[in-house]
Structure 1
Amino acid sequence: MRQPAGGQAGTRGPWLFGVRHHGPGSARSVRAALDAVQPGAVLIEGPPEADALAHLAADMEMRPPVALLAHATDDPGRSAFWPFAEFSPEWVALRWALDRGVPVHFIDLPATHTLALRAADEAEDDGAGTDADKAGEAGKEEHPARPHPEALRVDPLAVLADAAGYDDPERWWEDVVEHRGGHGSGAEDDAGEAALASFRALGEAMGALREEFGDGGHARDLVREAHMRVRLKAARKEHGDSVAVICGAWHVPALALRTTLTADRALLKGLPKVKTGLTWVPWTHRRLARAGGYGAGIASPGWYGHLFSAPDRPVERWLTKVAGLLREEGRHISSAHVIEAVRLAGALATLRGRPLAGLTETTDAIRSVLCEGSDVPLALIEDRLTVGDVLGEVPAAAPAVPLQRDLERLQRSLRFKPEAADREIDLDLRKENDAARSRLLHRLSLLRVDWGTPAAARSGTGTFRESWRLSWQPELAVRVAEAGVWGTTVASAATAKARADATSATHLADITALAELCLRAELSEALPDVMRALADRAALDTDVGHLAQALPALVRSVRYGDVRGTDTASLAEVAAGLAERVFVGLPPACTGLDTDGAQELRRQIEAVHTAVGLLADTAAAQVDGPGLRQRWRAVLRNIADRESAPGLVRGRAVRLLLDEGTLDEDAVARRMGLALSPGTPPPDAAAWIEGFLGGAAGGGMLLVHDERLRHLLDTWLAAVPATAFTDVLPLLRRTFSAYETGIRRTLGELVRRGSPVPGTELLPGTPADGFGPGLDPGRADAVTEVLRHLLGELVPVGVGDGGSG
């Protein structure tokens, strides 16, 4: 094995600079080393197809973080990313070469193989072998070292940190790389010599690890490294030995191996291929974090970006940023707080033997001084600064599918710039620009490009207002590429997708939801196809549950169509016909239900009740609104008086009729008396109470103001046998726990004072209804032992014998 990294400045190459992906210390060292050796060509770990796109990195509109996106042209969902941040060593090397006119090439395994191998791996999980596996096995045979059986998927940083006596690889890396030599100090020549020395040391360390662990459980790396060696040999043939390679430190020993071109090409023979497209896409700091699922991610991209950009005094500058954020959030942070936090971070670094305060020390100082020991503001700092939500930008010259171009045009014309941070917006559909934004978001939702998700409106309930929660994530670029098969513009793609979804939908509720979405997205060309599918499916579906689930979305479609000026006459007719079928099928469906079925039917009845009211109000010109209401009320009466229906459903029907004014208080009291009669099993009576008093708002106030209902409930509850009380208690607790605290307190006071039987008056000195004339000694003594265990000597012996307690 030859020397894995270049020697002193001016020494002949090639130079192998092993880096940590997205390591700011590595990025600074790469820049210093390149300045020192001045190579004639730069080779970077990445897909070779990106050579044609490398020049875009120097475009003024390119702002990292960005990523190379490769996707299979016939299956855009099959994709891979190669992210770059401002502090990524590969990005620094790329910009260094472009700024100086030095040829730059990517040398990793081509994306055409990477995507095909990923599909092969998925097939292997199903028991099928792949050519890639055979190539990997052949590589193992030629590699001089054999991996330890237990050393699967070795983390080289963790091994080196453990050897140095560190239990945290991140802290070890900060101490030996990120904080080495300070920031902005020393001459350029000294910086170059130090960088070259660090690369030599790291290359030797990785060489020792590869000799010990072989491929470390990364069998696919053998194929990648063979391709890197082939590309390195080609570059040396073209540019001589003045070649600098920037790659992951783990690969340096493999690239330094003396192998034949024939052997390396043998490893690459027979690899599967797939036709691939490549482009630049925006990336985010949040997606660089490990929490985002990125394999080469780092724990704190915002902190690493700060370390790379801070010319000096990084701790002081970081704490100043933190203070600014906390001030924006309304916390009182003075300069004295910052000074004290800096001192504490420095003291902690000294006590822990670190060359400079790292993220751990600064975080501890922030928690103690700026956050006063609270983790709540600290979580905000970690989210906004330590990780961050920076979103990169790519130039318009970058390749993109036509759908992406149309989306960018719409975003510009609507002044609707994507942002990585979560934010909520309110749209007033009476305004032209807001209505256009709403159309765009709904069309993207139909294409499964979930830039925005509907949120509850902050104020008002009018249909002219919408609230959205927006967050643009890098994965949406893949979704846009996938959606490109449906059309070249957002409107045409959404129309085609809606037509396809209408044809393939199997459930009535799916089609009604699609009709609602088409109206909100104003896809007038797709709506006729959706309506035909809706009418066909509605005619064939006989499940009343499916019909009840579909009706609310259909009625909302009618309502939103009225707001947006869409002709919804045919839609209203379908909704009215669907409602009539629900009216016919709902009463028989109330028989033979278990508890879960009763709960689901109650929700469906509530949804249909709301939908019928909206349909009668908004579609009076197309349907008989008053007649529709009357027929629905008759259905509710039928359910309320149907003895075979569950108590939960009957109670809800009675409550809806009461709220509508169809039943007066006498009729409700009579039905409640029947439901709570001694002949009714206690669980069924409790379910009736839950249906009548639970769920909808106002159940508690109804009991507060109606003494007869309260008396009926109190009398029934007092008569429930002890053996059945434990069965009905969960139902009652679920009902009454939903009331506001003030209502529960008022009901408690009313019960404590007692309520007279309707039509009678309490005589002076008569105990309140439900209460005895005094303390029951036997019942009091039954809990004495429990209270003594809980309260100790505060409970006297013999409470029932006249003790004061």
Structure 2
Amino acid sequence: MNGGKADTAGPLLLGVRHHGPGSARAVRAVLEEARPDAVLIEGPPEADALVPLAAEEDMRPPVALLAHAVDEPGRSAFWPLAEFSPEWVALRWALEHKVPARFIDLPATHTLAWEDDEDPGPGAGDDVRVDPLGALAEAAGYDDAERWWEDVVEHRGVGEGDAMASFTALEEAMTALREEHGNGGHRRDLVREAHMRLRIRAARREFEDGVAVVCGAWHVPALRRKATVAADRALLKGLPKVKTDMTWVPWTHRRLSRTSGYGAGIDSPGWYGHLFGALDRPVERWLTKVAGLLRAEDRTVSPAHVIEAVRLAETLAVLRGRPLPGLSETTDAVRAVMCEGSDVPLALVHDRLVVGDVLGEVPATAPAVPLQRDLARIQRRLRLKPEAGERELELDLRKETDAERGRLLHRLRLLGIGWGEPAAAHGGTGTFRETWRLRWEPELSVRVAEAGVWGTTVLAAATAKAEADAVGARGLAEVTGLAERCLLAALPEALPTVMRILTDRAALDTDVGHLAQALPALVRSLRYGDVRGTDTAALAGVAAGLAERIFVGLPPACAALDADAAEEMRRHVDAVHGAVALLGDAPAPGHGKLRSRWRSVLRTLSARDTVPGVVRGRSVRLLLDDGELAQDEAARLMGLVLSPGTPPADAAAWIEGFVGGGSGGGLLLVHDERLLGLVDTWLTGVPAEAFTDVLPLLRRTFSAYEPGVRRTLGELVRRGPGARGSVAAAMSGTPGFAPEPDTARADAVLPVLRLLLGPAGDDGDDGNGGDDGGARDGQPAGVTA
């Protein structure tokens, strides 16, 4: 059609709600009746080449068209399609009837290049965005657009009258809205609709009037409007472009709730999927699903509950003036009948059924970047299928398959592909165990495309990314953390670069805090060689040199610190202590062993008055725990600190360092009443004017204890110093124990032991002819008087 001539006839325009099952049923009915020669669908035209893949056997919705910029994969857009999406129904109908199906929306090459804050050109209109369904629902007297849509579309069967009637009514309503609001603040719509009209004209030249168009109902009035070719081309002139790739990717029901390439989403995809699939008695079938889910979670739900819930939902629909029960009525019925008024199981129903975790599948023949193909190959070989639902994966790294799985997940995390997140292990400890929490999100397809710039395989990409991260790292701790991740991911080719930069940064960094932050990750890395078969020899020398520099610089760095800096330094001392324990008896760069050198540093810190109390107290505690300090000496040092000559704030900080910070200090006070007596005597002697200053620190110290520890300490304090005995008397015997056993307290345990071990026979026989392990004289096995 030439440039100044306007259209005089129109195609079959089917205005739909994206992801609307009622629209999908109506589209299928109209297409079956009209039998068009071509089907045009709202979507990026670059996807035309991907249309045949929708007919593949292993293509299962929900899926999405993914477009991303070739040079900037993170710039992307999705066009999701569920089984109940009208666009998917139209696409499948066209393939089944061998009718051409084409996409007519603005090309993705413009969509991706078009920044959100750019002005789209002429006729942009105001910025107040109009929700078409919300506006129509409000006009009809509804306060909920979803309820209105269910009443006028979803609860209306296709066989009730003319299949085209709903499209006609919706077009009239949208025409009135467009006349009042223009583009409704959807600034790009005028340009998109201009492109749609051009594509429709081209199809009509080829197929005449045998063209059906499936698009958002909001666009129908604009596509029906007469406009010249010249005017439409003028709107498209000068649009920015970017080189684009497009493919199919799996999608999930959960992600259907987000806005997409055509700016639409729904809140209850699981419910809409049910409405689309349930051809009859949808409420009864839905409540049966709910009952099955709750029974699987060990809740008592009988068929009578289902029957009563159906009756209640239908009654609520009548009271609310609705033609059939909708999601709100069925939800209220489930809460009242099956959940006994509780929202806790109802939240499970919403998560598992109303939303759902259905994950689609796409054919292996779909276009993909080389990295995606390599990842898919590895996933198949390791039997790690992406799933939408969250699950835990326990790995034993002594097994080769599990070790490969762990390496893959670590490499993906390094690439920014967060398929798996490390979790706390349930089955024990050790470097040979790993626990992962896996969940595949559709957005990870974009992350894979982004990571494709680093290499064509997972191994090559992770190696290149690690080297680049090492070069760009800003701090020493960042490089040591990267070295640890390289070892976990088994990237031997990246380690030389990382180690070179690590050595350079360690030599230049003089901040003891930075060195202390870096050492633990470096030392942890040394533990991975045994199980993962990684050569960590290069790390040992760097770790020892780093530790030696900390030993030299730590005492001076602890002088003249305020309270916050002192607490941070206390955490550094804990971290270095743990790291030195892992290093064991490795030789120090100068002389001696690292562990003995560290103990000398702790003694220096514990004795210097210029060191903050919290650091001095923690140093004493670490020496005590390692057996390098006798309990009598620890009590003497505490007595000195808690003497009247020490400022109360400094004494409280020393106590925090010695028995606070999650160090198990509460049990220490429980079992060594000398120390508890010292703290008690000091605390009762703190002047009133100073007590309010030290109270917050003391509260933080003692509130971190376990409830049982706090209760025991309270009982000891209630007994008082007289009952506990003086410090001098306590020092004459075993700390924490009375001179003689308390037989009354010991006998009180026996009934509990009998309950745990079970009743004993009259003759003490164990049933196997022997008497070992049996109970005798009324005592459980293994218990002596």
Match of 1:712 among 654, 674, 678: 678
Q: Report Cα offsets for 1:301-333 as digits up to 9, x if no partner.
A: 111111111121111111111111111111121
Match of 1:665 in 2: 631
Give, in whole Å, the separation in 1 of the partners of 2:398 and 2:101: 53
* Equivalent residue in structure 1 for 2:447, among 463, 479, 494: 479
The range that moved more, 641-650 or 630-639, is 641-650
Mapped contact 2:79–2:260 kept (Cα < 8 A): no
Structure 1 residue aligned with 2:36, among 34, 39, 63? 39
| Matched residue, 1:276 | 244
Instruction: Name the one with the larger helix percent.
Output: 1
Residue deviations 1:434-469, cap 9 Å, x none?
000001001111111111111111131111000111
Cα distance in 2, alignment partners of residues 102 and 37 from structure 1: 13
Give ranges in structure 2 of 5+ residues lacking alignment.
1-8, 731-785
1:252 aligns with 2:236: no
69, 80, 84: which is aligned to 2:81? 84
Q: The residue matched to 1:116 in structure 2 has which SS?
A: coil
What is the distance in 1 between the residues matched to 2:96 and 2:251? 23
d(CA) in 2 for partners of 1:730, 1:325: 49
Matched residue, 2:136? 160
Task: Pick the aligned partner of 1:398 from 346, 366, 380.
Answer: 366
1:70 maps onto 2:67 in alignment: yes
SS at match of 2:727: coil
1:536 to 497, 504, 529: 504
8 Å CA contact 1:64, 1:392 repeated in 2: yes
Equivalent residue letter for 2:285: R
Counterpart in 1 of 2:593?
627
Distance 1:340 1:297, change over 3 A: same
Counterpart position of 1:23 = 20
CA distance in 2, matches of 1:235, 1:290: 32
Deviations 1:49-104 (A, max 9, x none): 00010111111111111111111111111111111111111111111111110111
Contact kept in structure 2, 1:49 and 1:110, CA below 8 Å? yes
Structure 1 pair 647/48, CA: closer, same or farther in 2 (3 Å)?
Answer: same
- In structure 1, runs of 5+ residues without a counterpart are 1-11, 125-131, 141-146, 762-805
What is the match of residue 172 of structure 1?
148
Aligned counterpart in structure 2 of residue 688 of structure 1, from 642, 648, 654: 654
Do 1:13 and 1:242's aligned partners in 2 also have CA atoms closer than 8 Å?
A: no
Partners of 1:401 and 1:100 in 2: CA distance: 32
The aligned amino acid for 2:39 is V
Q: Distance in 1 between matches of 2:425 and 2:321?
A: 53
For residues 626 and 430 of structure 1, what CA distance do their matches in structure 2 show?
A: 35
**Which letter maps to 2:670?**
V
1:758 to 713, 727, 736: 727
Q: Which residue of 2 aligns with 1:545?
A: 513
The residue number in structure 2 matching 1:439 is 407
Deviations 1:728-785 (A, max 9, x none): 2221111111212121111111111112322359xxxxxxxxxxxxxxxxxxxxxxxx
Q: List aligned pairs for 1:500-515, cutoff 5 A.
A: 500-515=468-483
Q: Partner of 1:109 in structure 2?
A: 106
Residue 380 of structure 1 aligns to which amino acid in structure 2? Answer: L
2:328 matches 1:360: yes
Query: Using the alignment, how far apart are the partners of 2:648 and 2:729 within structure 1?
Result: 27
8 Å CA contact retained: 1:551, 1:608? yes
Question: 2:312–2:333: 8 Å Cα contact kept in structure 1?
Answer: yes
Is contact 1:616–1:625 with CA below 8 Å preserved after alignment?
Answer: no
CA contact (8 A) 1:650 1:691 kept: yes
The answer for the alignment partner of 1:722 in structure 2 is 688
In 1, Cα distance between equivalents of 2:690 and 2:401:
62
Deviation at 1:622, TM superposition (A): 9.9
Q: Give the alignment partner of residue 491 of structure 2, picking from 486, 503, 523.
A: 523
1:561 aligns with 529
Tell me the equivalent position of 1:637: 603
Task: Please list the CA deviations of residues 334-377 of structure 1 after superposition, one character each: whole Å capped at 9, or x if unmatched.
Answer: 11111111111111111111111111111111111111111111
Secondary structure class of the residue paired with 2:340:
coil
Shift in Å, 1:595: 2.0
CA gap 1:650/1:179 in 2 versus in 1, 3 angstroms: same
Aligned to 2:706, which of 735, 740, 751?
A: 740
* CA–CA separation in structure 1 for the residues paired with 2:138 and 2:548: 73
Does the 8 Å CA contact 1:615/1:625 hold for their aligned counterparts?
A: no
Is the Cα contact below 8 Å between 1:203 and 1:253 reproduced in 2?
Answer: yes
Contact 1:573-1:622 at 8 Å conserved across structures: no
Letter in 2 for 1:477: S
SS of equivalent residue, structure 1 residue 356: coil
In 1, distance between residues paired with 2:534 and 2:581?
A: 20
Name the structure 2 match of 1:127: none
Matches of 1:600 and 1:561 in 2, distance apart? 31
Partner of 2:356: 388
Query: Are 2:567 and 1:599 aligned?
Result: yes
Partner of 1:773: none
**For residue 668 of structure 2, what is the amino acid of its counterpart?**
L
In the TM superposition, 1:601-620 aligns within 5 A as 601-616=569-584, 620=586
SS at match of 1:82: strand
- Asked if residue 99 in structure 1 is aligned to residue 96 in structure 2, the reply is yes
The whole-number CA distance in structure 2 between the counterparts of 1:723 and 1:218 is 66
Identity of aligned residues (%): 73
2:376 aligned to which of 408, 428, 431: 408
Find the residue that maps to 1:109 and give its secondary structure: coil
Distance 1:57 1:307 in 2: 23
For residue 180 of structure 1, give the secondary structure of its aligned residue in structure 2.
coil
One-letter amino acid of the structure 1 residue matched with residue 312 of structure 2: L
8 Å Cα contact 1:287/1:293 also seen in 2: no
Offset of residue 290 of structure 1: 4.1
Counterpart residue identity of residue 169, structure 1: A
Q: Which amino acid aligns with 1:231?
A: R
| Partner SS state of residue 323, structure 2 | coil
Q: 1:56 aligns with which of 50, 53, 56?
A: 53
The answer to whether the 8 A contact 2:64-2:251 is kept is: yes
> Does residue 455 of the first structure (1) align with residue 439 of the second (2)?
no
- Normalising by structure 1, report the TM-score: 0.87
1:123-159 alpha-carbon deviations (Å, 9 max, x no partner)? x5xxxxxxx53x2xx235xxxxxx6x6x810111111
Cα distance, 1:166 vs structure 2: 0.4
SS of corresponding position for 2:593: helix
Q: Which moved more, 1:496-505 or 1:92-101?
A: 496-505
Contact 1:420 1:471 in 2 (8 A): yes
Q: Is the 8 A contact 2:545 2:589 kept in 1?
A: no
Aligned residue identity for 2:181: F
Q: Which of 413, 419, 425 is residue 387 of structure 2 equivalent to? A: 419
Indicate if the aligned counterparts of 2:26 and 2:163 stay in contact, CA closer than 8 A. Answer: yes
Kindly tell me: are residues 625 and 732 of structure 1, through their superposed partners in 2, closer, same or farther at Cα, counting changes over 3 Å? farther
- Report SS of the residue matched to 2:488: helix
Shift of 1:702: 0.9
Distance in 2 (CA, whole Å) between partners of 1:481 and 1:381 is 34
- 1:263 aligned onto 2:231: yes
Kindly tell me: are residues 292 and 370 of structure 1, through their superposed partners in 2, closer, same or farther at Cα, counting changes over 3 Å? farther
1:650 CA displacement: 1.3
Task: Report how far residue 223 of structure 1 moved.
Answer: 0.4
Report what 1:372 is aligned to: 340
CA contact (8 A) 1:572 1:623 kept: no
Q: TM-score, normalised by structure 2?
A: 0.89
The structure 2 residue matched to 1:300, chosen from 259, 262, 268, is 268
Match of 1:139 in 2: 123
Deviations 1:386-422 (A, max 9, x none): 1111111110111000000000000000000011111
Aligned length: 719
Q: Deviations over 1:695-726 (max 9, x none)?
A: 23421111111121111100111111222222
Tell me, in whole angstroms, the C-alpha distance in 2 between the residues paired with 1:177 and 1:316: 19
